[in-house]
Amino acid sequence: MIAIINYKMGNLQSVGNLLEYLGEEYVITDKKEEIAGADKIILPGVGAFTEAMKNLRELDLLDILKEEVLEKKKPFLGICLGMQILAEKGYEGGECDGLGFLKGEVRHFDLKDKKLPIPHVGWNTVKPKEGSILYGNDVRERVFYFVHSYHLICKDEEDVSGYADYGGNFVASVEKGNIFATQFHPEKSQDDGIEVFKNFLAYKSA
C-alpha cells in the first residue's frame, strides 16, 4: 500500500490515477495510522512553500513524516512542492522552515535572461547523474513536465541526481538513501515519468 499525503496542496488524484494504471494499491490520506501502515509514501504538491508547511503543521503530520522517513527509512517520493519542502528553508510566501530532510534552501529563479518567463512551465530536458535509482542508472537525457517559480539549491552535491537548464542549471531531482524527489511532475510526463514511478516503486530500503 502506498500513502499519498493529503495536505490540501494540489491535485493528488493524478498521482493516484498513475498508481492505479501501474496496478498499485494506494490511499490518499492525512491519517497517521494509514501513513504508518503504508509501504511507501508519496508527497505531491502545487502551491506555496509557507502554506504547505502550515497545512502539515495543522494536520499534525510533521512528526509522523520524520518518524517514517528518517527513522524507519520508508521509501519516500516528493513531487514538485513536495520536493521543495524537504529543504531546510524556503522563501515563497515569506521565510519559512521546511522539513529539513535535505540540506539546502528554496529560492525564486533569478534569471539573467529576462526574456525567459517565470514560472517555468512546460517540457524540459533532464540530465541524470550516474548511479541514479529514479532513472534506472541510465544517464540518457529525458524530457519531463515542469511548473514552478522556485527551485531547490542543495548544499550537498551528492544529493542531486539530475539537473535541468532554465537560464542556467537547476536541481531537477534528488536522491538521498530512501528519500527521492523530483521538481518535475512524473505523473504528467508520459513514458519517461512512468519509468521514474516504476523505478521508485521497485526500490526497497536496505
Active site residues: 80, 185, 187
Query: In Å, how far from its chain's centre is CA 77?
Result: 6
- The two beta strands, 26-29 and 2-5, are parallel
Distance, in Å, from the CA atom of 182 to the CA atom of 77, rounded to the nearest integer, reads 8
Q: Hey, which bits of the chain come out as E strands?
A: 2-5, 26-29, 40-43, 76-79, 89-90, 96-97, 104-108, 120-128, 142-148, 150-154, 160-165, 169-176, 179-182
Q: How many whole angstroms separate alpha carbon 12 and alpha carbon 36? A: 19
Cα distances from 38 to residues 18, 71, 101, 142, 198, in angstroms, run: 17, 15, 19, 30, 17
**Is-contact 42 2, C-beta < 8 A?**
yes
| CB proximity list for 124: less than 8 A, separation 6 or greater | 143, 144, 146, 164, 165, 166, 172, 184
